[in-house]
Amino acid sequence: MSQTLADLPDDVLLLVLASLESARDLSALALSCHRLNHLVATEGWRVFVRSRFPSLVVPIPSSGSAGWRNLAESLTWQSRCWDKRALQFNALLPRPGPGREHQRRREAPFQPVIDAHYDPETQQEIVVWGAGENIVARYRDRKVSDQAAKTSWYRSDGKDHGFTAGYDDVRAISIVKDRHQSGRAILAGRDNGELALLSAEPDRFGERLTQFRPAPAVEHDSRNGSPGQSRTQDRQETINSLDVLYTGSQSLIAAATKTSVMVYKLPEDDASEAAPLATLDLRRKVFESKATQLCHAKWMGQGEVVALALKGCKDPLRYLSISPSGEWTQQAAFKNLEIENQFNIGYGNICPSSLQPVQPHAGSKGGTNLLLSAWRDGTCRLQDLRTSSPFDAVYQDNVDPWADMETLMTYGTERFIGGGMNGAAIKIFDFRWTKDYYHTTGLPCMDRVPFSQPPQPFLKAPQIDRSAGRARCNHLLVLRCRWHDLSRHIYYRPNVTFFLTKALPHRYSSSGIWSLAKPSDISPNFYIGITGGIIEASLEPFGDDKASGMMNNDLNSVFNGLHISSGVAPSANTAYTSVSSSESARASEYAGYDSRPLGASMMETGDGYAFRQNDRAIRFPYLWQPRAREVKVDSCDPLMSHHRLDSQYQFPEDYLPEV
């Protein structure tokens, strides 16, 4: 008897579902019969999310199969926005107000440290930052209904707790689970050395829950080259960085000062004070001279390794291996001679706040030893701390190769974002690893090259034999059409820099970027800490014109039940989609912040790999300016979804027939 696809057992069908490249294909399969429709609804969307976005940390939805369907909608929509550079920006800046000119002058120069968190169960997003000696937070409850997101603001004034500007500024901040695991709390380290767990509850915001005591510190007298006598210090050292590791049994805090790493256990009871589990004094085993200082510490592996960023020494990137008994050893990070020769790099100074562990696969066990870091020569280096590995790579802005990136933020192995002191500009890099999802897969075939042409004089266009170009994909022979094939090439997916300085008020013209934070890998927004304020970046197509609704046919075909749809963009009511800019930053009088939209200029900056010729003179690429007018290309509407950029960067001449 002949058998159909639906007659195969579920375990075989799940392998078939995992091989589908687009949500459109999965939706079409679900429409073929009742059994496949049921399988796709119950298991298909989960398999699709896990197989197409394996490097992102994706939480298990509390709503079951419907939650996986919403996640598939959100992640495919976000992937298209990232590829098309569909980003909108909104600034959250301190409000001067009448009679507060002195306060404006005091608050404007602060260097914000920022953290964010998104809870998929309650759909609540929290962003918190240190503004000098003050702590400010914004809570946003996303809604699934047609109601606007509810936003509330809270502020803890440092002067109310006896803190003064400058001396008591917040230097490190982290959102953590509270002691009863029922909500969130704030871990804050200050310039005066204080480390405390603060309440994040609305009625108790900023109230101190636990004070973390330092270990008895000693000050070494090495006038004659020996440690000599030691005495207890009167003042705790500045907390330079905080990192929290969540294990199965406990949560561990790594707090770095300029001379040591203190390891604390996040309290699970109502203890008002907590002592460190261990204090790793680096002065004897690690420091080479009095000029050596520790700047940043980050958990690696499963908590048995701590990566260190140092200054004033020969090897600024090192790691500590910690044994279960508490013994520790330090080593310099592995130096890959092949990578050094290929990319012509040395080991000078590291950007201390840039350490970012990278997990090759979100579900892999055993932790990670891969670390992304930024260096003063303008490079970002992905390297295995202990040994050489095939993942080692060096990235660089091909237009401005010497620009430092003081802070980095990663999205799995999909992309990373960097920012530095050279103005309010963010750089978006593709890791250039093989991707498992391309939003272009769900678009109709075309016999032409992707448009518009990337304006980059430093990367050769792929060579194409026009006689071999196909007008349509041949799925039986696994041959893509000309457009689908080229749209995956890195030449047509260049890295990009967004410039925000000119859109900011004049008093922020010299602002640099001090910190970056994202609520989660599945959140459609992230936050940028600039000198004196915060900027929220949201994945959001430009305007409400028809182009915005046609740019993701993969999604529309799924959630409108059509093979190819020209309907509207995915609904913003989904729990994981972004909130419009008018709703995303409703500042309260109490918090003292104003919000304003920003028009960012965009420049494409090449493939992103470092190489020896990056310092040569090149023709300055085109700077795309944001436009407020609609694109008048009514006769070419079917092509608008194929444009490789967002509608705010589209021009009528891009749709002319290929020459």
DSSP H helices, 98-159, are: 101-107
Does some domain include residue 508?
A: yes
Instruction: Give the span between the Cα atoms of 602 and 217, in whole angstroms.
Output: 49
Tokens describing residue 656 = 């002319």
Interval 211-261: pLDDT, tens:
999 876 555 554 444 444 444 444 689 999 999 998 877 889 999 999 999
Instruction: Give the span between the Cα atoms of 179 and 148, in whole angstroms.
Output: 31
Measured from the Cβ of residue 581, the count of other Cβ atoms closer than 10 Å reads: 17
SS3 331: strand
Is it the case that residue 271 has pLDDT exceeding 80? yes
Query: Furthest-apart CA pair in the chain: how many Å?
Result: 93
Beta bridge partners of 93: 594
Cα separation values, 244 from 251, 253, 448, 601, Å: 7, 5, 50, 36
Does some domain include residue 302?
A: yes
Total residue count of the chain as it appears in this document: 659
Write down the pLDDT at residue 572.
35
* CB distance 258 to 314 below 8 Å: no
Does some domain include residue 619?
A: no
Domain match, 17 and 158 both = no
Q: Which of 517, 539, 561 is the last residue of a domain?
A: 539
Does some domain include residue 624?
A: no
Candidate from 217-226, 267-276, 494-503 with smallest mean pLDDT: 217-226
Candidate from 104-113, 213-222, 262-271 with smallest mean pLDDT: 213-222
Domain match, 254 and 285 both = yes
Domain match, 176 and 161 both = yes
Domain match, 645 and 531 both = no
Does some domain include residue 170?
A: yes
SS3 112: coil
Is it the case that residue 620 has pLDDT exceeding 90? no
Instruction: Give the span between the Cα atoms of 357 and 58, in whole angstroms.
Output: 17
Sign of the C-alpha dihedral computed for residues 390, 388, 403 and 81 taken in this order = positive
Instruction: Give the span between the Cα atoms of 489 and 382, in whole angstroms.
Output: 22
SS3 99: coil
Write down the pLDDT at residue 290.
86
Domain match, 114 and 199 both = yes
Domain match, 512 and 642 both = no
Is it the case that residue 419 has pLDDT exceeding 90? yes
Interval 289-327: pLDDT, tens:
888 999 999 999 888 899 999 999 989 999 999 887 778
**pTM of this prediction?**
0.90
Domain match, 169 and 140 both = yes
pLDDT category, 568, cuts 50, 70, 90?
very low
Q: Which residue has the higher pLDDT, 325 or 159?
A: 159
Average of pLDDT values for 175-180? 83
Q: Which domain holds residue 521?
A: 85-103+110-435+494-539
Is it the case that residue 569 has pLDDT exceeding 50? no
Tokens describing residue 604 = 């494409």
Does some domain include residue 417?
A: yes
* CB distance 614 to 513 below 8 Å: no
Instruction: Give the span between the Cα atoms of 342 and 345, in whole angstroms.
Output: 8
pLDDT category, 453, cuts 50, 70, 90?
confident
Phi, psi for residue 614 in degrees, rounded to 5: -65, -20
Write down the pLDDT at residue 218.
54
Domain match, 75 and 140 both = no
Write down the pLDDT at residue 336.
85
Domain match, 34 and 94 both = no
Does some domain include residue 484?
A: no
Is it the case that residue 104 has pLDDT exceeding 70? no
Candidate from 78-92, 192-206, 579-593, 594-608 with smallest mean pLDDT: 579-593
Domain match, 269 and 307 both = yes
Instruction: Give the span between the Cα atoms of 387 and 309, in whole angstroms.
Output: 18
Cα separation values, 290 from 223, 259, 295, 380, 590, Å: 11, 10, 14, 28, 45
The number of distinct structural domains making up the chain is 2
pLDDT category, 99, cuts 50, 70, 90?
very low
Cβ contacts of residue 202 below 8 Å, gap of 6+? 139, 152, 154
Cα separation values, 197 from 118, 137, 188, 459, Å: 19, 15, 7, 50
Write down the pLDDT at residue 236.
81
Domain match, 37 and 132 both = no
% of residues, the chain, pLDDT over 70: 82
Candidate from 131-145, 225-239, 376-390 with smallest mean pLDDT: 225-239
Domain match, 126 and 211 both = yes
Cβ contacts of residue 621 below 8 Å, gap of 6+? 399, 455, 456, 457, 603, 604, 605
Does some domain include residue 220?
A: yes
SS3 255: strand
